[in-house]
Homo-oligomer: A and B are copies of this chain.
Amino acid sequence: MPSIKDVARLAGVSVGTVSNVLNRPEMVARETRMRVEAAVAQLGYVRNGSARQLRAGRSTTIAVVALDLTNPFFIDVLNGVETAAQDVDVNVMVVNSSKDAAREARLLRMFEEERPLGVLITPVNASGQRERLGGLISRGIPVVTFDSSSRHSYGCAVSVDDVLGGRLAGRHLLDRGHRRIAFAGGPFPVRQVEDRHHGLAGVLGPDGELTVIPLPDLTVATGRQAGKELAGLAREERPTAVFCANDLVAMGVLQELTQRGLRVPADVAILGYDDIDFAAAAAVPLSSIRQPREQLGRTAALMLLEEANSPGGHEHRHVVFQPDLVERVSTAHP
């Protein structure tokens, strides 16, 4: 495997010069540069990343710790991150915590060793967050949390106003004439779930009647569970609309209701959250609360890069985006 020394020897220059050709080509004489470039090509030389990083003390890739890659929401966020990173020639690597705190801890420990340019993370849960992220932060590795489960973060953060999302949902359903409304989601310690519920409840006020269908998880499977519960209720006490804590749940509810002969939206209206592509593609296209996913990712990446590039003082910021409502058939007028 040719090293920079081999290149130097072949080109008849010193290693310093080769390094200059590679990193600051403008400061080496044209003729020398060409000789070096020829040698590089001839040997098929490629720089050694570890050596560079060791010397430089910093990497050039940012790490994203995704909470759950099976949720398309994160994939879209990821796209935003990659867009921003690409512009400044920074690489993005993704790892998957799969909502597993132990696994997340392992990954973060690994990053303490690898020292990426920065870490973008949706932490698994609030408890222990401080300890798990502390190692990175104290080592000077910028950490930006996005869509965090915790209300207060250590460092920069970007999120979407979930209380507002809940309010949008509530107003929309009231507008459509619904008064008996269900909220399907959980677990409740999760901030997003709590906030969305809270926003909804706040808007309904005394006029509405709010039923909560608690779920252990936000997946299609638990959504079906919720659908089953709804379908089991007598018509006169069944909510006429369900607000689901995310689109996966909404899809499950939709499927179960449909299969049990209930019509959406005529019998029960369904409103989801996240506006994932699959939601629009459902049999009854789902209305949903849309989060600016790519923008979320892009902004998070930009904040991370900014922090990484300002060695001195850096003001941590907290950017909050606003969700909006996407109306589709599942909440149309009966």
Contacts and interface: CB of A to CB of B under 8 A. Distances in A.
Given A69-B78, A78-B96, A277-B220, A113 B47 contact: yes
Interface in A245-276: 251-252, 254-255, 258
A93 interface: yes
Contacts of A91: 95, 107, 110
A259 to B, nearest CB: 8
Contacts of A224: 281
A154 interface: no
A1 interface: yes
Contact of A281 (B61, B135, B220): B220
A114 interface: yes
A284 interface: yes
Contacts of A76: 70
A113 B89 CA distance: 15
A interface, size bucket: 35 or more
Contact of A70 (B47, B75, B254): B75
Contacts of A96: 78, 82, 94
Interface in A103-118: 107, 109-110, 112-115
A200 to B, nearest CB: 24
Contacts of A52: 113
Contacts of A281: 220, 224, 251-252, 255
A94 B113 CA distance: 18
Nearest to A254: B283
A53 interface: yes
A238 B286 CA distance: 29
A49 interface: yes
Contacts of A278: 220, 251, 278
A114 B220 CA distance: 39
A91 B112 CA distance: 14
24 contacts: A44-B138, A46-B112, A46-B113, A47-B113, A48-B54, A48-B115, A49-B50, A49-B115, A50-B115, A51-B54, A52-B113, A61-B110, A69-B69, A69-B75, A70-B277, A82-B96, A224-B281, A251-B278, A251-B281, A255-B283, A255-B285, A278-B278, A282-B283, A283-B283
Interface of A: 1, 44, 46-54, 59, 61, 63, 69-70, 72, 75-76, 78-79, 82, 91-96, 98, 107, 109-110, 112-115, 135, 138-140, 220, 224, 251-252, 254-255, 258, 277-278, 281-285
The 4 closest A-B pairs by CB, nearest first: A283-B283, A49-B113, A50-B53, A49-B114
